[in-house]
Structure 1
Amino acid sequence: MSTDTLQPPVALGRDIDRSAYARWLGKLTDGICGLTAAGTVLVVLTQVISRLLGAPISWTEELTRALFIWMIFIGLATSMRHADAARVTIFMETLPRSLRRLALPIYLFCCLGFFALMGWTGATMVRQQILMNESIATLGWPSWVIGLVMPVSAILAILCTLESLRQHRAAIALDPSKATPKQEAAS
């Protein structure tokens, strides 16, 4: 086997050539998702065990909901990092090449616009929760602790979208001539 056909080195399923920024962004988003998933499992187990023992704990349902909300919103940012957003690729492939070139700018404009709107709406909501001194009854926490996920995930989603553009541009733009062997195998 010749060395020119070997695949680039991979460590733990990730490409070594990713930038430090991309690795940091991945660890941050994956870490938050992992912590919230683990927390959700532990809280639900606590809830089930306490109910089986006949002494249900009141705060477990609210905390499960809060962790799940954080996991979903940060998971959205993570999916953008992997360019896993839902797209109608079969429709895009039927368009003429000249129109297909507009797919990437439209994709970016829509994604970044949506996340900017989500961030602004989330920041407005958090400000309102702080001003009104809203709290979660069973946990005794301020409501903004949960609401904060909207602007945080919006910022992370924008950063992840831009990073995915750098890493997965050919896959996002549906340009098979520029796709890497890894991207071709995934499609």
Structure 2
Amino acid sequence: MLVVVTLQVVARLTPMSLPWTEELTRYLFIWTTFLGLAVGTRSVSHARISLVIGRLPRLLQRGALHMYFVASCTFFMVLAYTGWRLVMQQFHNGETSPALGIGMYLITTSVVVSALLALWALVESVYLDRRTRSYLETGETIG
């Protein structure tokens, strides 16, 4: 993305025209954003109400963790399903980007990929990684 934006800036300072750089930058940003969703889920860097969870009694904290898991899984499954339907629609309709001429399904695939990665990251962070699970339950990291 840095290289493409640099090309875009250089092109604006010269008589050279690179109309595809703005579009490619946008698509790379979309991919980066959606992959960041999965990374944020794994590292528990997303917004949540740890202040409230940390003040609940221990039993309710454990229940809150499972409610968080179920709600997040539901969200990511709906996101993956909806994204997949959109990818298929764009593929079958032959939608292409204006400047690059690539299939728009290649861009929308980022939604599906990130939702599936986020589902795996959610399982890892809640049930497989003891340190992250402790953080999710109490809001405190293990020394």
Question: TM-score normalized by structure 2?
Answer: 0.91
> Partner residue of 1:173?
137
> Partner residue of 1:130?
91
Unaligned 5+ segments in structure 2 are: none
Q: 1:59 to 1:175 in 2, by over 3 A?
A: closer
What is the CA distance between 1:169 and its match in structure 2?
Answer: 1.0
What is the CA distance between 1:110 and its match in structure 2?
Answer: 1.2
Letter in 2 for 1:112: C
Q: 1:84 to 1:175 in 2, by over 3 A?
A: closer
Q: CA RMSD in A?
A: 1.4
Unaligned 5+ segments in structure 1 are: 1-39, 182-187
> Partner residue of 2:103?
142
CA contact (8 A) 2:54 2:61 kept: yes
Runs (4+) off by over 6 Å: none
- The one-character-per-residue Cα deviations of 1:146-181 (angstroms, maximum 9, x if unpaired) are 0111111111111111111221111111175xx521
Corresponding pairs, count? 140
Distance in 2 of aligned mates of 1:175 and 1:128? 42
Note if 1:159 corresponds to 2:87: no
Letter in 1 for 2:32: M
What is the CA distance between 1:101 and its match in structure 2?
Answer: 2.2
Letter in 2 for 1:180: I
Bigger strand share: 1
- The one-character-per-residue Cα deviations of 1:4-49 (angstroms, maximum 9, x if unpaired) are xxxxxxxxxxxxxxxxxxxxxxxxxxxxxxxxxxxx1110000000
* Structure 2 counterparts to residues 45-64 of structure 1, below 5 A: 45-64=6-25
What is the CA distance between 1:77 and its match in structure 2?
Answer: 0.3
Secondary structure of the equivalent of 2:17? Answer: coil
Note if 1:90 corresponds to 2:51: yes
* Identity, % of aligned positions: 36
